[in-house]
Structure 1
Amino acid sequence: MNAVVRHRLFWPAVTLAGLLLLNLVFTDHFFSVQMKDGHLYGSLIDVVRFGAPLILVAAGMTLVIATGGIDLSVGSVVAIAGALACLRISDLDDQGSTGGVLAAIGVALALSLALGAWNGFLVAGAGIQPIVATLILMVAGRGLAQLVTDGQIITVNSAPYKLIGGGYWLTLPFGIIVVAAVLALTAFLTRRLALGLLIESVGGNAEASRLAGIRSRDLIVTVYAFCALCAGIAGLMISSNVSSADGNNAGLWIELDAILAVVIGGTSLAGGRFSLGGTVLGALIIQTLTTTIYSIGVPPETTLLFKALVVTVVCLVQSPAFRKKAFHRRARTASPRPAADEKVKVTA
């Protein structure tokens, strides 16, 4: 039993289960999943569907953090990818053209990869601190998204593009299928091949990894590029779901939620070992918490404060050092003290 409690995924799983049960109290038939018009519907499906972009961004952020870095620019990449794709689709004579939509998606994802590689070059090649290197793109990228949209909200009317974030395939939301495919590929590359071990080695000690023959600079560039690619796909999902691109608000602060998801999932910000499964649980916790806030009727002006308090409690509960101090102090308080008039017998 102690081994189960000490497992890194135990407390995130308990937290997610508690939030889901709390929603059941405030929402009738919360666990009900129905089939309508050949599609699955239900609150649980919605939690995963709306949380799909965050899961993608958090998955990429996990690998970046595993190398000892951080990426604050993913929110801007989300906005840029969605804006560029919608701009190109809006210029098409036939927005229903599958070829034209695929070309727009390809351009948006290619730019996302380039932006991620640029972050990686600044970190690994130029030696700039990751938080500073990605902060540059965080600020400039949001301005670039505004330039792409000309400060306006670009709307599109494209059925093929709508499929990415708002469509269904094989009875499931297409976004869930995309997330499952990306996670499966990432898990295969990092856990079935040596890539995961190399990433953890670089995060543990980049210089020692380089001396051991690992091309740490190339690996760091690749990881940042992958993180930006995940953010680009998330941007396509978000803009597709609402059939529009908002360069100012799309993906706003999603980088903070992604970092929280990674931390809640048990990955250390210091780098080294990482857990993709824990990150998925962390992202689902954040999305379920958002759903819970709406369900219990928390006032909008206190939503962020309520969310911050819950996340703080979750992080404290899953902290081994905090639990050791709290429970050890309680055990000492509850232990009986010997009476003052009792004499201690000393035997030879």
Structure 2
Amino acid sequence: MSSDSTSRTSMLIALIRRPYFWGIIAIALLLAVNSLKDPGYLAISYNETTGSLVGNVIDILRAAAPIAMISVGMCLVIATAGIDLSVGSLMAVAGAIAMEFLSSAGGSAGAAFAALGLALLLGAVLGAVNAVLISVVGLQPFISTLVLMLAGRGLAKVITGGQNTAASNDTFRWIANGYVLGLPVVFLLAVLIVIAVGLLVRRSALGLMIEAVGMDPRAARLAGVNRRGLLFAVYIASGALAAVAGVFATASVMTVDVSNTGYQLEMDAILAVVIGGTSLAGGKFNITGAAIGALLIATLDKTVVFLGISSSATPAFKAIVIIALCLLQSERVRALFRARRAKAGSATHDAPKEAVAA
């Protein structure tokens, strides 16, 4: 075998061992299934009136943006051996404060940026509350974020007076519905944030310190890592990114539904993170994998609707796809298949020898 063939084989094996590789395969398979039902499913056209690209793929990219935001924050939190169940509620709180502000501030561009800043600030503050409960008070991450998950929607109802508040602001609406170079602004912003966070944690010591805290907090402390400061950083980042996702979700319709905005998206974020190869035990994370996992969740949601699967069977369908993907990612399962294949190959190879001996 030539050196080039050996190199290509090694690269392929390394790629297959990356957990998010199977996420990409799953996305391709789901798109292929949809294309079998409708050969024009992947078609993309250009709308000259709006200056935008139009098609099912573009809709998937738009739907993946808020999931990607909360998945990136969740990825950092889980890397510290924590979890953030409050991100869905924080989306509702951020949307509520933005809509309430815009309903009285008017439709100017300045009001739009002020509402965005207010939502980000509130998300960061609530993320800091989680950090205080975990790193200062000493509560388990599951319990502390569950408390804010339950209290968050109550806070959103207090902000809006229990109503689904609507507002009108063209600049704010453009954040979710606008286009740049034919692509949705919401998707481009999500890509920029994913790249920025990825570069920050991988081009500096921050990523290594986060992983160290997740692997062994005591050893990290003895090595001089500020565990409390890192926990504050990741939970504040998670809260702020959830607020961005909340802005995305509410700006598209310029209305906040305090009961449904961000509902159960924390589960989608956790699934996206796991699909991307981040260990729930902490100490290992993959920002790229989390983004691909978010894209897979959005593709899966669109596929469920496109195939006309009933709402009662939807959770089971999603569970089957995700379980199959997790099994493909499992090194133990792949080792079992390799062992069975080697055993079958050995039996086939020994069969002619036995025939000759006979």
TM-score bracket relative to the smaller structure = over 0.9
Partner of 1:304: 315
Please, which runs of 5 or more residues in structure 2 have no aligned partner? 1-8
The AA in structure 1 aligned to 2:252 is N
Aligned-pair distance for 1:98?
1.1
Please, which runs of 5 or more residues in structure 1 have no aligned partner? none
Aligned-pair distance for 1:331?
5.4
Partner of 1:8: 19
The AA in structure 2 aligned to 1:233 is V
| Alpha-carbon distance in 2 for matches of 1:49, 1:87 | 25
Q: What does 1:89-108 align with in structure 2 at a 5 Å threshold?
A: 89-92=102-105, 95-108=106-119
Question: Which shifted more, 297-306 or 239-248?
Answer: 297-306
Q: What does 1:225-240 align with in structure 2 at a 5 Å threshold?
A: 225-240=236-251
Aligned-pair distance for 1:333?
6.7
The AA in structure 2 aligned to 1:62 is C
Aligned-pair distance for 1:170?
3.3
CA deviation digits over 1:165-198, x for unaligned, max 9? Answer: 1222332211012111211210111111111111
8 Å Cα contact 1:66/1:273 also seen in 2: yes
| Pairing partner for 2:58 from 45, 59, 67 | 45
CA deviation digits over 1:120-152, x for unaligned, max 9? Answer: 111111211110110110001111112222222
| Alpha-carbon distance in 1 for matches of 2:339, 2:253 | 51
8 Å Cα contact 1:12/1:318 also seen in 2: no
| Alpha-carbon distance in 1 for matches of 2:96, 2:16 | 45
Q: Which secondary structure does the structure 2 equivalent of 1:251 belong to?
A: coil
| Pairing partner for 2:167 from 156, 164, 171 | 156
| Alpha-carbon distance in 1 for matches of 2:335, 2:347 | 20
- Using the size of structure 1 for normalisation, the TM-score is 0.92
Q: Which secondary structure does the structure 1 equivalent of 2:173 belong to?
A: helix
The AA in structure 1 aligned to 2:52 is H
Matched, 1:57 2:99: no
- Change over 3 Å in CA distance of 1:4–1:167 after alignment to 2: closer
| Alpha-carbon distance in 2 for matches of 1:86, 1:140 | 19
8 Å Cα contact 1:79/1:247 also seen in 2: yes
Aligned-pair distance for 1:27?
2.8
8 Å Cα contact 2:164/2:256 also seen in 1: yes
- Using the size of structure 2 for normalisation, the TM-score is 0.90
Partner of 1:295: 306
| Alpha-carbon distance in 1 for matches of 2:22, 2:192 | 26
Count residues with an aligned counterpart: 339
Question: Which shifted more, 253-262 or 159-168?
Answer: 159-168
| Alpha-carbon distance in 1 for matches of 2:58, 2:286 | 24
CA deviation digits over 1:243-272, x for unaligned, max 9? Answer: 100111100000000000000111100111
Partner of 1:166: 177
Q: Give % identity.
A: 42
8 Å Cα contact 1:26/1:295 also seen in 2: no
CA RMSD of aligned residues (A): 1.9
Aligned-pair distance for 1:104?
1.7
| Alpha-carbon distance in 2 for matches of 1:326, 1:148 | 55
The AA in structure 2 aligned to 1:119 is N
| Alpha-carbon distance in 1 for matches of 2:262, 2:92 | 6
